[in-house]
Amino acid sequence: MSLPTRAVVFDPATRKTQLQTLTLAEPVADQVQVKIVATGVCHSDLHIVDGDWPVDTPLVLGHEGAGVVEAVGPLVRDVRVGDHVVLSWFAPCRRCDACAAGRAWLCANTTATANTLPDGSTPYAEDVLPFLGVGTFSEYVVVPEAAAITVADDVPLDVASLIGCAVTTGVGAVTNTAGVRPGESGVVIGVGGVGQAAVLGLALVGADPIVAVDLSGPRLELASELGATHTLRGDDPALAERVLEITGGAHHVFEAIGRVPTIESMPGLLRAGGQAVIVGMTGFDASVSLNPFDLADRGISVLGCNYGSSVPSVDFPRIAALHRSGRLPLSRLVGSGGTLDDVERAFADLRAGAGLRTVLRP
């Protein structure tokens, strides 16, 4: 039986988003049908709407979601009807060399970035694809079970939704990509949804000092409450000097905006041997200018971070457990609410850097 579902669709022809009722196929093979209970609004959705990442086909936006499994296909093994699941926007194939080696974020066969299900199809009857293979701005989704990770029922689903992108990316950038150790210094440039999670990750591993940089006063205040020892404004002309003063040259800098000038500023904030971690996503065709003599001379590493170098089936439950034990206070990241009808307001807030992470309840 197919299922009608209200969804937020971005049409590249008009460059507008619209709420539409679409027809979702029932789950077959290893697919699961999930009722979305909460879905966060991430800057990556805005990259689509603002044309930074051009697409040819209309997309159901949203990729940071959690909900309850309502139906499963006959080949599903790990997920049960009634499970609370966090959706992964990078469903790994679980068979390629990278997946077999436990590096699912490097999966060679995922079709998520082509915005389709693993067989190249769409679950919708209409000519519409699910963004990153999930498309969570919808009442219901149908995804492969590799994209639906069960988490404990007592993790609130608004918190769980953020584990689907911002939290796993920000915390993972610290713990997995950079491998920050206690007492090392960390600088986070841009403390929106992803950057605040990086601050939480730095606090979790005992980094010190932790410097948060943003243009928004309230976001810098939240970063202090979450563990930043110092906050600095991104438009401070003496920013680099201040960072060097506080850290003596940072061990790790995380760019969590996706801007060329801030990415280019990272080596100048680092000590010899330091790591510059690119977490923010630029437009597809951006390029940055870095001084290769300086990188070689001072042994600086530049690391790319996809999804916090995380394995969803391992990292989602681990992060959920850290939330339950109080070590990662993720509820502090949940901002204003609303329904799918409020998506434009959420995008406007993201553009303006206002408020915290909006979490919609379809």
* Interface ranges with ligand NAD (CB under 6 A): 42-44, 47, 165-166, 169, 189-195, 213-216, 219, 234, 256-259, 262, 279-281, 305-307, 350, 353
> Which CB atom, from 166 or from 300, has the smaller least distance to ligand NAD?
166
Q: State yes or no: residue 111 binds Zn ion (CB under 5 A).
A: no
* Least Å from the CB of residue 197 to ligand NAD: 8
| Cβ neighbours around 237 below 10 Å, total | 7
Report how far apart, in Å, the C-alpha atoms of 26 and of each of 7, 32, 59, 70, 145 are: 16, 9, 19, 10, 14
* Least Å from the CB of residue 95 to Zn ion: 6
Scanning the structure block, which residue is given the tokens 């992060």?
A: 319
22 binding partner (options ligand NAD, Zn ion, none; Cβ < 5 to 8 Å by kind): none
Q: What are phi and psi of 181, to 5 degrees?
A: -110, 160
* Least Å from the CB of residue 191 to ligand NAD: 6
255 binding partner (options Zn ion, ligand NAD, none; Cβ < 5 to 8 Å by kind): none
| Widest distance between CA atoms in the chain | 63
Say how far apart CA 241 and CA 178 lie, in whole Å.
23
Q: State yes or no: residue 93 binds Zn ion (CB under 5 A).
A: yes
Q: State yes or no: residue 106 binds Zn ion (CB under 5 A).
A: no
30-38, 89-97, 125-133, 224-232 -> range binding Zn ion (CB under 5 A): 89-97
* Least Å from the CB of residue 47 to ligand NAD: 5
Residue ranges in 16-55 that form contacts with Zn ion under rule CB under 5 A: 42, 44
39 binding partner (options Zn ion, ligand NAD, none; Cβ < 5 to 8 Å by kind): none
CB of 357 closer than 8 Å to CB of 193: yes
* Least Å from the CB of residue 281 to ligand NAD: 4
Burial of 296 (0-12, 13-18, 19+ CB in 10 A): exposed
Which of 91, 107, 203, 205 lies at the binding interface for Zn ion (CB under 5 A)? 107
7-15, 48-56, 96-104, 302-310 -> range binding Zn ion (CB under 5 A): 96-104
107 binding partner (options ligand NAD, Zn ion, none; Cβ < 5 to 8 Å by kind): Zn ion
Total residues at the site for Zn ion (CB under 5 A)? 9
> Which CB atom, from 62 or from 123, has the smaller least distance to Zn ion?
62
93 binding partner (options ligand NAD, Zn ion, none; Cβ < 5 to 8 Å by kind): Zn ion
Say how far apart CA 201 and CA 171 lie, in whole Å.
4
CB of 262 closer than 8 Å to CB of 195: no
Closest residue by Cα to residue 350 from 45, 134, 88, 135 = 45
Say how far apart CA 225 and CA 52 lie, in whole Å.
32
Does residue 218 have a cis peptide bond before it, meaning omega lies within 30 degrees of 0? no
> Which CB atom, from 68 or from 215, has the smaller least distance to ligand NAD?
215
DSSP string of 232-255, one letter each residue: EETT-TTHHHHHHHHHSSEEEEEE
Say how far apart CA 275 and CA 265 lie, in whole Å.
12
> Which CB atom, from 76 or from 149, has the smaller least distance to ligand NAD?
149
CB of 278 closer than 8 Å to CB of 263: yes
> Which CB atom, from 10 or from 231, has the smaller least distance to Zn ion?
10
Say how far apart CA 295 and CA 252 lie, in whole Å.
14
258 binding partner (options ligand NAD, Zn ion, none; Cβ < 5 to 8 Å by kind): ligand NAD
Which of 61, 128, 146, 165 lies at the binding interface for Zn ion (CB under 5 A)? 165
Rg, the chain, Cα only = 20
90 binding partner (options ligand NAD, Zn ion, none; Cβ < 5 to 8 Å by kind): none
Reduced to 3 states, what is the DSSP secondary structure of residue 294? helix
* Least Å from the CB of residue 68 to Zn ion: 21
Say how far apart CA 57 and CA 9 lie, in whole Å.
10
Q: State yes or no: residue 92 binds Zn ion (CB under 5 A).
A: yes
Q: Which residues bind Zn ion (CB under 5 A)?
A: 42, 44, 92-93, 96, 99, 107, 109, 165
